[in-house]
Amino acid sequence: MASRRLRVAVIGAGSAGLCSARHILSRPLTFEPPVVYEMTGQVGGTWVYVEEPGNTENTHSSMYRDLKTNLPKETMEFPDFPFDPSMPSFMHHSDVLKYLEEYTDTFSIRPHIKFNTQVVSVYPVHGDEERVSWTVVSSARGEEVLEKFDAVMVCVGHYSHPYIPDIPGMKDFQGQVLHSHFYRYPEAFSSRSVVVLGSGPSGIDIAMELSAHAKRVILSHRGLPQTWIQAEKVSVAPPVVGATHDALIFEDGTKIEADTLIFCTGYKYHYPFLLPGARRAIGDGTINGEGVEHEDLLDWGLLEARYLESPDLGQGHLPPLYKHIIHARYPTLGFIGACKIVLPFPFADCQAQFFLQVLEGKCPLPAPEEMLSESRKELLEHRNSGLPLKHLHLIGDHQWEYNQWLADTAGIEPLAPVIAKVFEACREFRNLNPLTYRNCNYRILNREEFEMQM
């Protein structure tokens, strides 16, 4: 255990940031109360619905008006904070936000959150790499503030900066083009011919919503044909590969007139406060009267772009991470909740506890060079597999063994086996018919068993 209490910064007050703060507060002998930086005026992150998002980079939430969870609440909840059992398994997004607000107040997190505060820059300062400290520069109401920390937990999520692939001819297309990040309700597309590119959960949901209002909906995607019965006015097509002024061109050569294209193509990682260029926000080299050595900020090695060996094609990327959490060069910098295709709340909860165990010295790590070597090997293998860089930390089917490894290594309680069983049952039902799977309710009986109710 450290000889003095550690001071930790938490960036973001969404689900990952909230559970990180909650576990810091539960260890008062080791940690000072956290400082949580939140760029908006409330907790919840992407679960905060914004009615009129516009089409700007300042839009954080990806919620659309009628969105319901695509995972049952029984698999989503934090291990120590259950959802109201009277609620259905698949809830409206507003109920999830209410849950996060209740979590915030139950564990007295709110007094430690700096709302409407933008993190401008995060950079390492004196000390060796294994116990480097950090400077966080933030801005609120036009005033920049510098604070020093022993560790930083980055909890900004990955559903706020859309990834839009480069499609030839799109600059000539005269129709409306938007990403699902900015979609809110189907009535806005009444009587339109809409192409939805991408058949993930959002793509299918949005196509189904549009079918009741649009003149025509085409679900464009790569992969096997859908096996479920299509809704009226919804057809399926291969991926969009080109565009003219009034039509979209599909991979099979088909050209279809359309007046709207909605990209449901996922999101990219976005960490502007970790880039060396962020130091320009520091101004003349002083904040709060303290000097800032600019020459020390020129090459922090936080994102390690020189090791990518290929451009990221605008997809964004994470720094070199050990076990998808620990910055391999700077082990006191952690990324919580950045993995994809996982149970977000319990997954982030486990990652946060693992990272705090590392800071407490209860979970020894390999040397930084060994962690760097492992992360670079992982990156190289991923690149050679042909998968997009934005999927480098897509865990998917490996999340159960990953969670077990974190729990075993850190000495914390793993997820109950029944959680994986409910997750798999839900996925199977959703693949069979994504139109009706939310009609099912799940009830967990014990750590191994559950029942389904229609």
* pLDDT recorded at residue 152: 97
* pLDDT recorded at residue 230: 62
Give the distance from CA 308 to its chain's centroid: 21
Ramachandran area for residue 291 (φ above 0: left; ψ -120 to 50: alpha; else beta): beta
The model's pTM is 0.90
How far is it between the farthest Cα atoms of the chain? 68
C-alpha to C-alpha distance for 320 and 307, rounded to whole angstroms: 9
Q: What's the pLDDT band for 205 if we cut at 50, 70, 90?
A: very high
Q: Which domains does the chain have, with CATH numbers?
A: 8-161+268-415 (3.50.50.60), 170-263 (3.50.50.60), 419-453 (no CATH)
Helix (H) or strand (E) segment spanning residue 419: helix 417-432
Which residues contact residue 188 at a Cβ distance below 8 angstroms, ignoring those fewer than 6 apart?
none
Q: What's the pLDDT band for 295 if we cut at 50, 70, 90?
A: very low
Bridge partners (DSSP) of residue 113 are 36
Computed over every residue of the chain, the mean pLDDT equals 87
pLDDT in tens, 253-264: 999 999 999 999
pLDDT at 325 over 70: yes
* pLDDT recorded at residue 386: 83
pLDDT in tens, 217-244: 999 998 766 655 566 788 999 999 999 9
pLDDT in tens, 376-397: 888 888 888 888 777 888 888 8
Which residues contact residue 157 at a Cβ distance below 8 angstroms, ignoring those fewer than 6 apart?
12, 14, 16, 45, 46, 337, 338
**Residue 20 near residue 153, CB atoms below 8 Å:** yes
CA distances (Å), origin 55, targets 62, 183, 264? 12, 10, 15
pLDDT at 348 over 80: yes
Greater pLDDT, 354 or 52: 354
Among 36-40, 57-61, 300-304, 416-420, where is mean pLDDT lowest? Answer: 300-304
Count of C-beta atoms within a 10 Å radius of residue 377 = 10
Task: Give one DSSP letter per residue of 168-234, joined into a string.
Answer: TTGGG--SEEEEGGG---GGGGTT-EEEEE--SHHHHHHHHHHTTTSSEEEEE-SSSPP-SPPPTTE
Tell me the mean pLDDT in the region 411-438: 92
Tell me the mean pLDDT in the region 52-77: 86
pLDDT in tens, 2-16: 468 999 999 999 999
Residue carrying the six token digits 């930390």: 393
Residue carrying the six token digits 């991470």: 321
* pLDDT recorded at residue 298: 32
pLDDT in tens, 300-313: 456 654 444 344 54
Q: What's the pLDDT band for 128 if we cut at 50, 70, 90?
A: low
* pLDDT recorded at residue 223: 73
Ramachandran area for residue 118 (φ above 0: left; ψ -120 to 50: alpha; else beta): beta
Greater pLDDT, 375 or 38: 38
Give percent of the chain above pLDDT 90.
66
Among 57-71, 203-217, 293-307, where is mean pLDDT lowest? Answer: 293-307
**Residue 189 near residue 213, CB atoms below 8 Å:** yes
Among 4-8, 18-22, 382-386, 419-423, where is mean pLDDT lowest? Answer: 382-386
